[in-house]
Structures are given as C-alpha cells and as structure tokens.
Structure 1
Amino acid sequence: MGLLFFHLHAATSLAKWDKIPDSLFIGEIFPVTIKFFIPGLTAEDQIPITFENGLNLQVRYAGEPLQIVDGYAVKKIFFKVTGMPAKLPDILFSFEEIQQRLTGLPLQVKQLNAPENFCQVLAKRLEIKEFDSVQYDSTSNLVLMRIVGLYANLEDFKLPFAKLQKIKETNESFPVTDILYYAILPSHFSQLRFSYFDPDTREFKLVSIPIIVKDEIVSTQSDINPTEDKSRYTKIGIFAFLGILFLLYGIWKRGYLWIFIAVIMLGYAGYLLIPAKKVCVKKGSKIYILPTKQSTIFKINRKQNSFFKLNEANGYIKIMLPDKKIGWVRKDDICKN
C-alpha cells in the first residue's frame, strides 16, 4: 500500500494499534492511531514503514505529523473502507538491526440502510458551494455544482435519479475535498434533494437547493462529454453507411443518380474525418463549462495558446484542452491573427 517515513530513534522497539473504531460503514473515512515506543527517540532519525495484507481498505491520508507523547511516537493514519469484510493491514517497520511486524486487525463493517435519494457519500460535513442550471433539451435540465466535503468520499458521489452524470474535476487538501459535478435531470424537478450520511451523528442529512432554470438552452449538440464529440462520430457513421449502401445499389442497378448521391455522402463523411482546426485563445481568457452567460469558470488561460476547435454556439467557441477536457471561450477572446 505504500511507503512512509516516521522520524524515530531506537535500540528496541514496540508498536501497538490504538483508538480503532468499534464499527464502520462502507465508504467511511476513519482514523487509526499507531503507538511506537522507542527509547532514546530523536526527531532526526527515520524508520521506513510498509503496509501489507490489508483487506478492503484504502490508505486515504498518512501525512499527519508524528507526535511524541509520554515516550510514544504516535502516528495517525486515515483509511477508507471500500468493502466488507475489512481488515487493517500488517505494519512492517525496521530501524538499524531491528525489524518488527504489527499484525493487522479485523474491523466491524456494516452496510448502510440508505434512503432512495442517498448520494453514496459519507462525510462529517457536505455543502454545495456553487450551483448553476440551464435547460438541456425539452425534457431535461443540466445542473452543475461544486460540492465541498469534510472527511468525505466525494469521488463516489452519485445521484440515483440522474439521466447522465459525471465528476468533471476533483481537488483534495485533506481533510477537505471538492468536486465539480454535472448531471442531466428530468425537467419536472423543481428542487435538487439528496442525502448523505454523517458517521459522527449516525444519521442521514438532507441537502436541498432550488433548481432555477435560465432561459439559455444547451442543446445536445453542445456535447458536455469531456473527451469526445459524439454527434460528429454519429454523423460519420450514418453518412458512411448510407453512402456505401447507395453506391452498391447504384452499381447493381447501373443508376448514375444513386452513385452520385453515394459519392456526396461518402465525401461528406470524409470531410467530417478531417482533424479539427486550431484556434488561438488570448492570454487571460476565461474558459467556461457551458456556452452561457452565467456559466461556471473552471480555468483561466494563463498564456496565449492554440486549442482544437470543436464547435460554435451562442457566441462561444468550443475547444479541447491538452488534457482532453472540454471548455468554451467567448469569440471575443479568440486572437485576431
């Protein structure tokens, strides 16, 4: 599971688990404490530590500073429960000629009996910091939000009633995590309501925010998928298939009109296969998630750059960034030359 370095010094060494939770839930982020007793401890010494044989656990954070309390070197490590059954890993550590293994312990893990609107997140606190919503099509709305959680497994965030959803960006400065998330919801939803579980209070907490849809419309041609332009590939497939079909039919019937139509269709499919051209974007330009006036800004172009142009809509240019993410810039932010 990885390698850590504790600042310790010893002639002999002892270690024991301390402060292990009585019961846990799948998805929960929790701390355990390991106590190391080493006579003659100094902060300058180091001891390597490895994790082995853990079960359904993920090391979430091991960067807390070591503390010396009553002769013990106390280290707090945070794990995430990923399934059941679960077991703490064996801890292997060595110093000079001393080697020792602290055997991992089994954990009591339960499955949550969650309500239907549970978002799969367990957190001490969860808040929506930014929220935006626009009409996606005649039956759906697109919502975007930045969610911030404390000791939260936000990477698992999922709304059970969304037609389509994706976490676009994740940032963590433990114990705080934030995600930029979008979802396509049925248009009859006037409020976004979901629940998360607070392990401290052992209860589900409701999050609710009104969905106020702006007049702007983001059609399916906007393609919010962050990696590819689906509508373009669909068109290529349709025109190529019909072109080949008409060509074979024209050859069989010796119908020049069918062959002419087939050539046009195949030519258009070939045209769509031509790589997208690049556009120059000015330094300091804002890159938006959507081509709308009030859209969330997710990046600033720090220097003049050229990006692949994918589409145009509502006075905005759709571009692909080097990391394959999709964004929109205003036409006014395109370089003149």
Structure 2
Amino acid sequence: MPYVADEKRYSDMLYNRSGKSGIKLPAISLGLWQNFGGNQPLENSRAMILKAFDLGITHFDLANNYGPPAGSAEETFGAVYKKDLVPYRDELLISTKAGYYMWEGPYGEWGSRKNLLSSLDRSLTRMGLDYVDVFYSHRPDPETPLEETMGALDHAVRQGKALYVGLSNYSMEQTSEAVKILKKLGTPCLIHQPSYSMLNRWVEDGLQDVLNENGVGSIAYCPLGRGQLTNKYVDKIEAESKATSSTMKPEAITPERVQKFRSLEALAASRGQTLSQMALNWVLREGGATSALIGVSRVSQIEENVKALESAPLSAEELTEIDAILNNLADIPW
C-alpha cells in the first residue's frame, strides 16, 4: 500500500517561530544522528520517519557524517523520501550539515568553502533532493577565516541549494561574529543547534542572549542528556550502585546522585509524565529552545516524546524545584 500521511497530522503538534524568521519549527523535531544508518534495518527507520510525520513532526535533521557508516543516514532518508514523501516535499523542513570528517585529504572536513559546498552536493545526491531547507556549519573551524565559512553558507543559498543557514556547536563569541557576517552578506542566520538539557545549560551563559538579540532560533540536541534524563537511566544507576562491581564511573552511581534522579522522576510522575517527557518540557519552556531534537530507536519513543506536549508547561514552582534538585548534579556520560 502506498503511504498516505495521517490527515490529522497537524491537529496536535505545537509549532514555534524560529527567531524573527518566517519559519515555524515543530516543538519536537526528529534527529537522524543514530539508529538511521546503513547498519540498521531500513523498514524500522522508515517506520520511525513516517510515524514522526504522521504526528506533525515536519523537521528532519541530518548531517553528512550521520550513520554509521558516515553518509548512510542521508541515504536512508533519501530512500524513504523517494518511496513515500515526495508528494509532501513542501511540508517538510530538511536540514543537513558539513564540517566533520568525511573524506581523505585536506578538503574532507572543517569549514573551508571547498569542503562545505562539495559536501552539500554530496548530501543532496544521497538524499535525492534539489535543495535542503537548512544548511549548517556543523562546527567552527579554528584555522579557516569565519568570513570564508559564512561566505560558503551564503553561496549555498544563492545557488538555490539551501533556503536557510544555521550554526551548530559555535560559542557565544563565534556565534555573535558569524551572525554579523551573515547579516552583511544578506543571508541571516535562521537557527543555532547547541547541546542543551537540564544537565547541560551552557547556552544560558551568553549564547541564548546573543540569539535573542539577533532574532535567531535554537534547536536543542541531546535534550535528554544523552539518555540520562530517562526512567531507564535512573533504574540503571540505582542497580549499578547496589552491584558488587560496575562498568560505570563511581561518581555516576553515588547514593546522592541516585536520589537526585529519583526526585526528578517523582516530580515528573506528579505531573503524570515520564522523566524524559518532563525534560522535553523543560527545554521547551518559555525562554528555552525553539525545538527539541529527539533521537530514537523505535516508534514508541517518538509517540512518548510527542505526548510531552499534552501536559501543561512547567510552573514557576516546578522550575524552582528542578533547579534545587539539580544543584551540584554533574553531567556524567554513561
């Protein structure tokens, strides 16, 4: 049976304007960073992409190096697009990025004009697209002049191969300068993609102010703290803390840390939510990110994450309680 999108796909999703642009992003966006590579069953990837769209997720975030192997996530998306989503192209917001290592030699990574524009051509070929909606500089290049990198993004738009441009992993100072250059070139920065969660709040130390002042939106990756802000993680660290031996770092499974996560979990439960759902509400609170970029491995996770939008926004009292719980809670990877 040919795929037909759910006719109610726009009934429940929340859409937020990206800065001062004309673009609205779904509050929940789907990232194809992991679990969509060539090492995964295509039908599972297809099911997740189509379920996301059926739930009103119009934004699909990729990069040239997503996989594994690198490039294969774009190939996966391209296969699903060709089979199912071509009729819906104008309803989709598709992004990709360049900057991390992709091929041998001096032009296979970083932020030169040569790398970015060559990479974009390769990405378009892998996805079977004439253009992407957003093209990002995936990371700042310490050796290439910022003017060259931003000039390449501007050129991609003027070529018609991208509609908007964005930055990812740029510091406050780098972002401020890049935004100024892009504005002068006539291609304003649409969006910044930083890592951001309850456990990783670096954007609040100036970057968010720069974005607000310049009318730039933001989309948070790792909003669940690389899986730490999930009930599964809380169960794991508590079990590990009681085990005779553990594969986790000792500082990750202290009784105090377990208790803090249990307190977060209890607060979420009092709201009728899972911890991951509350974590998404936190990232999307007023003054937070425009959109939260989720990574998933199965359809049910998309459904659970989108249900976070059914709950009321976090109250001032709840935000204060979260801050108190998180006091001195370190962000420790799995």
Fold in common (TM above 0.5): no
Q: What TM-score do the two structures reach when normalised by structure 1?
A: 0.19
Between Structure 1 and Structure 2, which shows a larger proportion of strand residues? 1
Larger Rg: 1
Q: What TM-score do the two structures reach when normalised by structure 2?
A: 0.20
Between Structure 1 and Structure 2, which shows a larger proportion of helix residues? 2
